[in-house]
Structure 1
Amino acid sequence: MSTTDLNRIEMGVAFHGVLYAFPVTIALCLGQLIKNVGPISLIGCAYFLFAITMNLFAFAYVFRFRIEANKKTDKRIGLIREIANSLKIIKFYAWEDAYYDNISKRRNEEVSQLGKMQAYISIVIAYGILTPTVASMIVFVCLYGIKGGLKSAANTFSSLAIFQVLSAIVFLLPQAFSTGLTAYVAFKRVQEFLLSEEVDPETLKAIPCENIENSIEVRDCSFEWGEESVADNDEENDSSSTSNEKNSKDKKNKKNDNGNERHEIKIKSSFKGLQNLTFDIKKGEFVIITGPIGSGKSSLLYALSRLMTKTSGELRSTGDLLLNGQPWIQNTTFKNNITFGTAFDKKKYDTVVHACALTGDLEVLESAENTEIGERGVTLSGGQKQRLSLARTCYKEADIYLFDDVLSAVDAHVGKHIMDNCLLKLLNGKTRLLATHQLNLIEHADKIIFLNSDLTYEIGTLDELLTKSLDFKKLMENFADNDFNGKNENNEKKHTKEKIEKISILEKKDTLDVTSIESSFDEKEYELAQKEQEERKKGRIMIKEERAFNSIGLKLYHDYFVYGGGKKFWPVAVSGASFSQILNTFCILFTTVWLSYWSEKRFKHKTDGFYIGIYVLFSFSSMITTFLSSIILFMICLNASKKLHNAAAKNILHVPMSYIDTTPIGTIINRFSKDIDILDNELPMNFIFSLNQGFTIFGILIMAIIYLPWFAIAVPFLIFVFITIIDIYQTTGREVKRLESVQRSFVVNNFQEVMSGLDTISMFKMEEMFVYKNDFTTDKQNEATIVFQGLQAWSTIWIMLLAVCFTIMVCIMCVCGVFSIGAAATGVLLNYIIELSSGLRNLLRETTELENFMNSTERVANYADELKQEGTYKDQATDPGDQWPSHPSIKFDGVCMRYRKNLPLILKNLTFEVQAGEKIGICGKTGCGKSSTVASLFRITEIEQGRIIIDGIDISKLGLYNLRKKISIIPQESILFKTTIRSNLDPFNNYSDDELWETLVNSGAIEADELEKVKKQKFPEDAETAHKFHLYRQVEEDGKNFSLGEKQLLGLSRAVVKKSKVLVLDEATSSVDYETDAKIQRKIKENFGKDTTILTIAHRLKTIIDYDKVLVLDAGEVKEFDKPYTLFKQKDSIFRGLCEKAKIMDSDFENL
């Protein structure tokens, strides 16, 4: 909407003057025709109006097809946006083909509607251009039938000139109606958005608490989210490719395996909401909100922030309130992300940076606080994003702070630093609510809100909840069993344990496991810092959008027509369109010439019927040739647009991740929205009108030379001056237009950024700042647009002056009798020479717009032909077969890897070997190369030296698909796509429903004893009550209707369904609660047996101390590689030091 629709409105406004001028022109011309020819001219005008009416009916069909095409366009662009945001996950799972098929499918649906629309437009163009010719023909034939002959040459050709005036406006009518209807559709969409229900500011205003000692008062409140979608058949298969007949049949019948009809409707969210809440939070209290996954911890914070719909009850709060939810990072400097539009206070800034453990990060960044953070925070790890977002919240003064799991992605040392220096010290005296699954923090809480899985809740102190809540006791018992070991407890953990012991919950003593080894600067940050070293020296990470500076070359036109007509047949297609247009020009010009022959009875022995027959024949021939030329060009352009789009989409799917990380999403979206829209709609019309105007002017000049041979002397001068004007205009206009395209990308980027951070912007009350930023970027774009329009006005004045000079010259030559030409011939010549002015002006406009529109072709062609690609995707010659790896051993042999040639090595002679079926934990300090090892294993980044061998095969010899489909990964944060759960698990439709149901059971998403009940639930009938992990439940954008823990269960399901012999866990449980962590670890052991090799990047060290071996990395080199206990017994080992920091003792190994 922010790109394509607004562009269509802009184009529609540019042509709206034609629609206003049309009735006035008709009235004036009609009056003059009646004066020249008499009332008979009304017959021609009646036909003229009839033809226009028929065109309007035709445009009703065009309008219908445009609406359908817009729907398809929205789906396609939404999918492109999703791919750009989630490409790394797509690469990990080797889903490129599935998503390419999905894009192609949506594009084909869109092109189908566009093809129908353009067929009607071709008819309208042909009929519109012919209408004045047919109207004049009817008038003159009727005049002959009634009066027995034509009037004088003066009356005849002056009337013909009037019809040509009508022809000029009718020539623009198809384009005006087309752009007008398109703009109307776009306007209605924008209008619907602007008139949609807005958030009532009154609902966001805080009502002060009745008790002055309270910060928050909740009285019998219930909250719920909005609606979510249930996918229809098309949506369910959007990410799928039909690889067998069974799937095709299922799609045809629009049934799933259970016979459920697939629809897309709006239902209430599957999360039943928060019900009947009543509690008070006193000023200055520190409240912890905890509970199992999906219990509503985050929802409660959003409810208190008034970002969740309150259905009943009364919510009161005193003072300013801030919510720190999902981390949102701007594409600006480190400092600006923290200050976020507020005044810079050095002392306060330094205090906040220290409290949020960001001091170490600034020391590593070469430009320190002035380093630009890439779009979406691509230069930051998950933990650093959280801390930067936390710093922004703390820098802003407020009375109440709500934090949503802000310590989930940091290690114990950093977490303790933030707890002590930020939450307890910096914000001391403020009301703080922290939603978390880290139960070791509960000791600090003044009050605890425990949310149960059944949506009930308990509130009280730790002692009170241990006494009255059985579910809370069980949760604490599980926590204590997993994380206590009675020897080296610090005071706060010991105090918590003692409280539990007082009520006889536990008999066993354990030690709290603070087993995260991530420091304040994550390895991913280090690697990206190395990767973008040159840009950071200037404080910049994101690469500016490229902008060409040369004119559009013939090669681009050649490549465009090759895309449109094929390598072998494009000359035939282009020649056919050109020849049809030449015939059309000849027919139109000869029709007028023949009228002069008829007027002066050139062939004395021929009857009037002969003249009338030829006149009618050429009149209708011009319509046929116009239609042929239009439809051929439309088909060429639409085919070129389709192939360019698909080639560009395919290349985006296979582009190296470095390009995605350094390219703004708005730039990519701009390619597939505005640029493709120009290729689909504007460029075909422009080609048609450019050819029409070009050949018409050429024909007029030839005619003038035939009648006035001396005029040939002036033609070279005319051409020279015209080309000079074009060159001056296009040289400047080209760069202005390209600059406008780049500035438009800035507008889109800003819009995308704002849309992803609406909640943050709203909570910080920074709407005005972003409105100003939007106005600024829009003004910059408009500056280029206004300059371009000024250039158009300048060129129009000079072209009209040139044409007028030559028109006067021809008139003088005709009047002075330099050549012996008759009155009828003079009428023909003057009739067309007068058109030279508008013709040259239109030709200049059309050819210039053609070059400007070809700039969009150039931009899309850059994606289609020139984007750097990864290695070979599929290689049948080296395909190891379905059974590989049967013996999943892994060997790194002298592996060296860097992100760019001029950057230092990240992995340095990395050498180790993993035997088949071994479970290996990978750990080490920041920047040691853990994530780089995974990246090299999946060939996300290619190694520079050495070999990686899996089951005896060097993976560099394999196609990327052949490699990645055989190994699985569970990433730190599983990304879900906007489709069904089924398509999120199996986008290729390779598995049956029963297999996927079994996968959900094996991963723990669905309990085995409730499977049959869940399978009987139908969509959409049971959508509100269906299981959260029902196969056909629709996943909202970014998986917003699933909690973090639920997403990780689906991530585990993806790995389970692949049944890979090699599994990589990249801190897969770092951001989930202890219960979910234990559940995932248990399910991994159940589903991946001794024949599976597992590599785990450890966040909690206790999860890997029972592994076969531990690999300790440092600075990209192997420092230690042995059994965990063997390394632990070495007092000077790195692993021993890490274990001591995590409070892991001898007894932890003894209890394994």
Structure 2
Amino acid sequence: MKLESDSAAVVTPFAKAGIFSRMTFWWVNPLMKRGREKNLEDEDIPKLRETDRAENCHLLFLEQLSKQQKSGPSSRPSIRKALILCYWKEIFLTGCFALLNILALCAGPVLLNAFILVAEGKKSFKYEGHVLAISFFFSKSIASISQRQWYFRCRLIGLKVRSLLIAAIYKKQLRLSNSARMVHSGGEIMNYVTVDAYRMGEFPFWFHQIWTTGLQLLIALAIVFHAVRLATIAAVAAIILTVLCSIPLAKLQHKFQSKLIAVQDERLKASSEALVNMKILKLYAWENHFKNVIENLRKVEYRWLSGVQLEKAYHSLLFWIQLHLFPMLLGCSFKRRLHLHALQNSWRLQSCREKYSAKLQRERDSNSISIKSADFTWEDKSSNPTLRNINLEVRAGEKVAICGEVGSGKSTLLSAILGEVPKIQGSIKISGKISYVSQIAWIQNGTIQENILFGSAMDSERYGEILEKCSLVKDLELLPYGDLTEIGERGVNLSGGQKQRLMSDGKILQEGPYHRLLASSKEFQDLVNAHKETAGSERLALLNSSHSDRCGTSSREMRKNYEEKQCKALKLLNSLFHAPMSFYDSTPLGRILSRVSSDLSTIDLDVPFGLIFTVSSTINACSSLLVLAVVTWQVLIVSIPMIFLSVRLQRYYFASAKELMRINATTKSSVANHLAESLAGAMTIRAFQKEDRFFSKSLDLIDTNASPFFHSFAANEWLIQWIEIVSATVLSSAALCMVLLPPRTFSSGFIGMALSYGLSLNNNLVRSIQKQCGIANSIISVERLNQYMHIPSEAPQIIEESRPSTDWPAVGKVEVEDLQVRYRPNTPLVLCGISCTFEGGHKIGIVGRTGSGKTTLIGALFRLVEPAAGKITVDGIDISTIGLHDLRSRLGIIPQDPTLFNGTVRYNLDPLSQYSDQEIWEVIGKSQLQEALQEKGKGLESLVVGDGSNWSVGQRQLFCLGRVLLRRSRILVLDEATASIDNATDMILQKTIRSEFADRTVIIVAHRIPTVMDCNMVLAISDGKLVEYDTPTTLMKREDSLFGQLVKEYWSHSHSTEPH
């Protein structure tokens, strides 16, 4: 989304509106007029006032927290107290409007009593009836203006609270320590933003309801006492009984809310983990298991949700009068406490230690690292440091290699230099800038140029030089928009080599005086030493997701009853888990997570009762108008034009409102997406000290989301105020008719009934409009969910009439016949007519330059992408004729990016619980993981945190080896599986595969050329075409052999990098 600068964007007219314009919402008219003339777009929405923007709100919040810390350094600052101190002036002003509203509302019964006396002939002066009729209009108008200002300004406070909380959470997550990330997953942090912060932003709307409801009841009792004296005791007793009954019910609701929020966090944590790693789940055929886990959590959540909603329904049924606000307010208060508690916990999460800023006492331009007798540990409370007694000094200009076995602490040492690992003793000093290339490439959703520049200013000469050195020139030439081509989140539509080189490209451009490089592939090692003409992958394409947020489905078609919510959630899960990988390649993760978090929460909590209250309020409004018409039919002369005007006003409003709601929903996804992206790349962001840039972008996105929401509720108040003026006119006209008609036309009883219904007409009509607008906003969430429930599905998991035998594949023979693959319709072919045969039990090496199509061929074997033409046959069965589960569960793979899941060691090796502990211990020994498990001290129950961050990347790869050893598939694929481990461990891994899979078909996508030298056959691919396929010995003898050329380049580079 394009974010306009302040100078280019128009600031909301509210910023300069006068008092009359603000009181009548006249300043909203230009936007409403524009919305009537055309569909509103992002650029049509004015920016917020300076004081309402996230940056100023966040600074004010931090200032209040800082004051609390200074006044009581030993105590933890309270978010609630800070929020109140930030906006106490606004809270006081809204309180004044609330008080004025209560007084104006209470004038209604007083005027009604006086009017009845006039009807009975007890006039105080001649034109008293006329004055009272006009007074009805003014009292209702004052009540309307004061209430609209009360609600509008409370929502504005809520908007600012929401913005500052999202900003604070985002800034906090950029600095979270490893121990904090072990406790709070990315899914939970996402939930803090998309659910907790938004719900907290709604609470200020209810703030004054707590005391105004009590005051209104006291005034009402005083009026009743004046009329009926001692009979008021019965009313007081009823009120006391109601309140006493509501307190235990509210406490029960609090219990249900607590349980609901806890299980929601668990479900979102599991959903986030599964959605992020969907490719791995599909490769291992585990998606049904993970889907079942989430479904079971959803069922538990649904039980607690049902309890919450039943309690709400019971309150509404038992106290169907104004008193029903008491239990509702208590329930709202408890809910606010729960969300605030969650946010308070997130605020208390431990941050990374401050960067080591101490400089060595050397020349000004010296670049060095000095570590003396230092111990480092990932876990602060651990008695066993991860790194012990480290002494290291790196002088300016030195090139230092860090070597060691898998899990020995190489990555931890680099993380310590970056300031990521807590130091428990010793000293560390850093001088100079740092550039960092992570072991697993982190690519942002944006253009290639944006990823390379990474916030730096464009230097055309240096930029071109870097593209040349990183071998990206040819890749960019193949793309229609060159370096302005957009790439998907996490670089999903790039090859592994392209991702690493693109990431390296940007880091070199940062002009750090020296680089600390943690390279995960040969492509990076070759980066500056030799230029390769790398064939570009044509998979790179502009992302135009067919699942756009702009949906035009009719809201009426989406209105399902409450019982269908569970069905919707299950359909959503089925749709997401059976979606093809192309959907995940083209859809930002934040957008998907927004559906399963905030949109589903809206449907759970807002839609059901919203529909019920909309219908009931509309019926009540119609009933009030009908009573008025029956008693004084003359009022229809005024009512019919007023009804027509109300309908026109509502249509005029909805022309803009529906677009504001749509833009609000799409911009909310951008906030979530940026958070998800930053969570994944937090370490890289911190290494380059780009926190301020990413935080600044987050503030812009928060404001971009806040602006349509601000104008949406302002437009809502504009509509309601004018509707209230209309209803006040109807009431005043009815009263005037009663005065002007001949005396004794109506009895005083009829007059009292008619006018009391006229007084309630205002409230009922306003409530009806409010609920209609609210449900229209909530229905957008239903539409967005419905949109994701109709994602085109990949092939069936199981085809009953075409199931292979239980021992298939028995031989492991793979035949590829004229295979052609493209990633999207009407795009160039990525694989162009490949034909070859992999004999059963053979070791097949697949080689080629980065982006040549090696991984695509493996994707076709697992049917992550379906062929445009041709076929792949395994042991005589065309794999396109069988179910995906039957295919993928019979194949084994060690993927390019090793992935672990939150849980235990046992769960990560055998999530389906198919093997015994003894079998698992055997593969742990063969995978060289036994020593690492002994250090953990809990055996198979040793903890694995989200994404396996408490294990090294090499150890994660050995976990993947353990998985295939357990499965013992007839066909095993190694997709550049040795990229993240050292040579010694690579030799052990190769030896294990040779011994354990001696009679199996092994397909190796080569990262290190020596790994394919002992293969039976080598397949060389270039530009998606089969160049050669023969034995390694035969290919080495050919002068023009691509394989021979790759071998020479590999050994040439190996010799050039050896120490002299």
TM-score bracket for the superposition, by shorter chain length = 0.7 to 0.9
8 Å Cα contact 1:214-1:280 kept in structure 2: no
Matched residue type, 1:810: A
Q: Indicate yes or no: 2:601 matched with 1:410.
A: no
1:171 Cα deviation after fit: 5.0
**Which of 794, 799, 812 is the equivalent residue of 1:888?**
812
Matches within 5 A, 1:17-96: 17-96=208-287
8 Å Cα contact 1:9-1:184 kept in structure 2: no
**Structure 1 residues 10 and 1141, CA, compared in 2 at 3 Å: closer, same or farther?**
same
1:1084 maps to what in 2? 993
8 Å Cα contact 2:353-2:420 kept in structure 1: no
Give TM-score scaled by structure 1 length. Answer: 0.71
1:177 Cα deviation after fit: 4.0
Matched residue type, 2:810: S
1:194 Cα deviation after fit: 2.5
1:1104 maps to what in 2? 1012
1:821 Cα deviation after fit: 4.5
8 Å Cα contact 2:373-2:425 kept in structure 1: yes
Matched residue type, 1:96: E
Matched residue type, 1:391: D
SS at match of 1:893: strand
Q: Indicate yes or no: 2:1048 matched with 1:1124.
A: no
Residues in 2 aligned to 1:1119 and 1:766: alpha-carbon distance in whole angstroms = 44
1:526 Cα deviation after fit: 0.3
**Which of 779, 789, 794 is the equivalent residue of 1:854?**
779
Residues in 2 aligned to 1:211 and 1:548: alpha-carbon distance in whole angstroms = 58
Structure 2: segments with no counterpart, 5+ residues: 1-191, 1054-1060
Q: Indicate yes or no: 2:992 matched with 1:1068.
A: no
**Structure 1 residues 1107 and 198, CA, compared in 2 at 3 Å: closer, same or farther?**
closer
1:915 Cα deviation after fit: 2.4
1:172 Cα deviation after fit: 4.7
**Which structure would you say has the larger Rg?**
1
1:705 Cα deviation after fit: 4.5
**Structure 1 residues 1121 and 704, CA, compared in 2 at 3 Å: closer, same or farther?**
same
Q: Deviations over 1:621-650 (max 9, x none)?
A: xxxxxxxxxxxxxxxx2x322221221111
Q: Indicate yes or no: 2:825 matched with 1:673.
A: no
**Structure 1 residues 732 and 549, CA, compared in 2 at 3 Å: closer, same or farther?**
farther
Residues in 2 aligned to 1:970 and 1:198: alpha-carbon distance in whole angstroms = 34
**Structure 1 residues 921 and 216, CA, compared in 2 at 3 Å: closer, same or farther?**
closer
Matched residue type, 2:251: A
Q: Deviations over 1:286-337 (max 9, x none)?
A: 2221111111111111212222111011222333444443433222332332
**Which of 797, 802, 823 is the equivalent residue of 2:726?**
802
1:784 Cα deviation after fit: 0.3
- Worse-superposed segment, 1080-1089 or 9-18: 9-18
Matches within 5 A, 1:242-641: 268=382, 272-326=385-439, 327-404=441-518, 406=519, 408-411=520-523, 415-419=525-529, 521=534, 526-529=537-540, 532=541, 535=542, 541=543, 543=545, 546-548=548-550, 550=552, 552-557=554-559, 560-561=560-561, 637=562, 639-641=563-565
**Structure 1 residues 552 and 127, CA, compared in 2 at 3 Å: closer, same or farther?**
same
Matched residue type, 1:221: A
SS at match of 1:226: coil
8 Å Cα contact 2:795-2:884 kept in structure 1: yes
8 Å Cα contact 2:256-2:308 kept in structure 1: yes
1:838 maps to what in 2? 763
Q: Deviations over 1:529-588 (max 9, x none)?
A: 2xx2xx2xxxxx36497234647343222xx23xxxxxxxxxxxxxxxxxxxxxxxxxxx
Matched residue type, 1:672: V
2:697 maps to what in 1? 773
Q: Indicate yes or no: 2:987 matched with 1:985.
A: no
Matched residue type, 2:1030: D
Q: Indicate yes or no: 2:931 matched with 1:931.
A: no
2:57 maps to what in 1? none
1:963 Cα deviation after fit: 1.0
Residues in 1 aligned to 2:424 and 2:465: alpha-carbon distance in whole angstroms = 41
1:1134 maps to what in 2? 1042
8 Å Cα contact 1:30-1:42 kept in structure 2: no
2:3 maps to what in 1? none
Residues in 2 aligned to 1:306 and 1:10: alpha-carbon distance in whole angstroms = 35
Residues in 2 aligned to 1:1038 and 1:184: alpha-carbon distance in whole angstroms = 31
Matches within 5 A, 1:813-828: 813-815=737-739, 816=741, 821-828=746-753
1:712 Cα deviation after fit: 6.3
Matched residue type, 2:754: L
Residues in 2 aligned to 1:1136 and 1:215: alpha-carbon distance in whole angstroms = 41
Q: Indicate yes or no: 2:190 matched with 1:190.
A: no
Residues in 2 aligned to 1:943 and 1:198: alpha-carbon distance in whole angstroms = 48
Matched residue type, 1:33: V
1:1064 Cα deviation after fit: 1.3
How many pairs align? Answer: 859
2:566 maps to what in 1? 642
8 Å Cα contact 2:357-2:430 kept in structure 1: no
Residues in 2 aligned to 1:705 and 1:763: alpha-carbon distance in whole angstroms = 73
Residues in 2 aligned to 1:332 and 1:960: alpha-carbon distance in whole angstroms = 32
1:656 Cα deviation after fit: 1.1
Q: Deviations over 1:712-752 (max 9, x none)?
A: 67665454333322222222211101110111111111222
1:3 Cα deviation after fit: 0.8
SS at match of 1:38: helix
Q: Indicate yes or no: 2:868 matched with 1:944.
A: yes
Residues in 2 aligned to 1:1134 and 1:385: alpha-carbon distance in whole angstroms = 23
Matched residue type, 1:31: A
Residues in 1 aligned to 2:594 and 2:353: alpha-carbon distance in whole angstroms = 32
**Which of 201, 211, 216 is the equivalent residue of 2:369?**
216
**Which of 862, 872, 879 is the equivalent residue of 1:955?**
879
Q: Indicate yes or no: 2:959 matched with 1:1044.
A: no
**Which of 313, 319, 336 is the equivalent residue of 1:128?**
319
SS at match of 1:218: strand
Matches within 5 A, 1:671-710: 671-708=595-632
**Which of 275, 288, 304 is the equivalent residue of 1:97?**
288
8 Å Cα contact 2:447-2:484 kept in structure 1: yes
Residues in 2 aligned to 1:877 and 1:676: alpha-carbon distance in whole angstroms = 37
Structure 1: segments with no counterpart, 5+ residues: 131-166, 228-266, 422-518, 536-540, 562-636, 1018-1023, 1146-1152
Matched residue type, 1:999: V
**Structure 1 residues 989 and 60, CA, compared in 2 at 3 Å: closer, same or farther?**
same
**Structure 1 residues 1143 and 1087, CA, compared in 2 at 3 Å: closer, same or farther?**
same
- Worse-superposed segment, 1112-1121 or 842-851: 1112-1121
Residues in 2 aligned to 1:6 and 1:552: alpha-carbon distance in whole angstroms = 29
Residues in 1 aligned to 2:749 and 2:394: alpha-carbon distance in whole angstroms = 97
Residues in 1 aligned to 2:1034 and 2:1052: alpha-carbon distance in whole angstroms = 14
Residues in 1 aligned to 2:463 and 2:236: alpha-carbon distance in whole angstroms = 76
8 Å Cα contact 1:384-1:520 kept in structure 2: no
**Structure 1 residues 932 and 285, CA, compared in 2 at 3 Å: closer, same or farther?**
closer
SS at match of 1:402: strand
Q: Indicate yes or no: 2:379 matched with 1:226.
A: yes
**Structure 1 residues 945 and 389, CA, compared in 2 at 3 Å: closer, same or farther?**
closer
**Which of 569, 580, 583 is the equivalent residue of 1:656?**
580
Matched residue type, 2:522: V
SS at match of 2:591: helix
Matches within 5 A, 1:231-242: none
Q: Deviations over 1:508-533 (max 9, x none)?
A: xxxxxxxxxxx6747xx60422xx2x
SS at match of 1:2: helix
Matched residue type, 1:526: S
Residues in 2 aligned to 1:953 and 1:337: alpha-carbon distance in whole angstroms = 43
Residues in 2 aligned to 1:657 and 1:674: alpha-carbon distance in whole angstroms = 24
